[in-house]
A = this chain, B = another copy of it.
Amino acid sequence: MSLKLTILGFNSAIPKKKSAPTAQLLEIANRHFLIDCGEGTQVQLRKAKAKFSKINHIFISHLHGDHVFGLIGLISTLQLLGKETPLWIFGPKGIKDFIMNQLRHTQSNCSFELSFKELESKHSELIFEDDKVKVFTIPLNHRIYTNGYLFKEKEKSRKLNIDAVKKHPEIETCDYQNLKNGRDFQLQNGEILSNQSLTFSPEKSLSYAFCSDTRYKPDIVPIIENVDLLYHEATFLEDLKEMADYTGHSTAKEAAIIARDANVGKLVLGHFSNRYKNPEILLEEAKLVFENTFIPKQLQIFEA
């Protein structure tokens, strides 16, 4: 099972004719998580041929328009499409009133259960967990209360070494789950077969960290350490570091330092200031610090 990230949009501030503000669709362990939802995200989802019905969890980093103005439209469309499964929205305190007030004025009755998990902690916390995945917040430093999100597959089951298992007729199908869970097997004669002799190591558990918008914040490094894929905003080049600090953003170099120090697998940059007509220049700056860096195109998919 791979991890698949579709960049629905990565514009800063203003939607443009051919590019959308921040939104991403993360497919991890068969879950479909939407991250941020700028204006026009639902159209980007259509362009990406995403299945709307599979989106049951939306994570909003902060309540600036370019990260959230598409949320009410998406909720309305899910309603028109007859969504039945519950929808969970994670975001800063206030997001519930932000959405519910719009639903009230538009006299919309949700056909599905709409639940909010409002965040206000300044420390990383576990906000979602099921049998396959955990999601943690990554407290960021922007002009307004902001969280990034860390998505981690749980440790997977060990894989049966069928050839080895079949050599022991005493091992029955009903024992397989115990083996996958790492237990040894005791034969009737008392001999113990080690789990390692009967199974292979599990597939690697994959992880993704989303960090936008934020000033350079090195204390997130321990939280995102060793993630396979990191998205980190890079609004400015290093020569505008003062501007980055003032507006609550990072430079490409700073994003790369975070990636290097956290030993991530791959870094994707985004949220570039409109002043950079050709964002390759941001890529070049980052690559001097962290080679495995990429800048996305609209609807590009990154896998891990």
Assembly of this chain: how many copies? 2
Give the number of residues in A that approach B within 8 Å (Cβ atoms). Answer: 34
Q: Give the distance to chain B from A21, nearest Cβ to Cβ, in Å.
A: 9
A70 at the interface (CB under 8 A from B): yes
Q: Does chain B have a CB within 8 A of A278?
A: no
- A43 touching B16 by the CB < 8 A rule? yes
Is A101 interfacial (CB 8 A cutoff)?
Answer: yes
- Is B76 a contact of A144 with CB atoms below 8 Å? no
* A182 CB within 8 Å of chain B: no
- The interface bits of chain A over 3-45 (1 if a CB of B lies within 8 angstroms of the residue's CB, else 0) are 0000000000111110000000000000000000001101100
**Residue on B with the closest CB to A40?**
B40
Q: Which of B15, B73, B105 contacts A97 (CB 8 A)?
A: B105
Residue among A16, A69, A108, A144 with max Cβ neighbours from chain B (10 Å): A69
Given A63-B107, A101-B98: A80 touches B43 (CB 8 Å cut-off): no
- Assess the B64–A106 pair: CB atoms within 8 A: yes
- Pairwise interchain contact A106-B16, C-beta atoms closer than 8 A: no
Residues of chain B with a CB closer than 8 A to A42's CB: 14-15, 39
CB <8 Å contact, A108 and B65: yes
Contact with B along A94-117 (1 / 0, CB 8 A): 110110011001111000000000
- Tell yes or no: A46 within 8 A of B by CB: yes
Given A63-B107, A64-B106, A105-B98, the answer on whether A17 and B69 have CB atoms closer than 8 Å is no
CA A47 to CA B40, docked complex, whole Å: 15
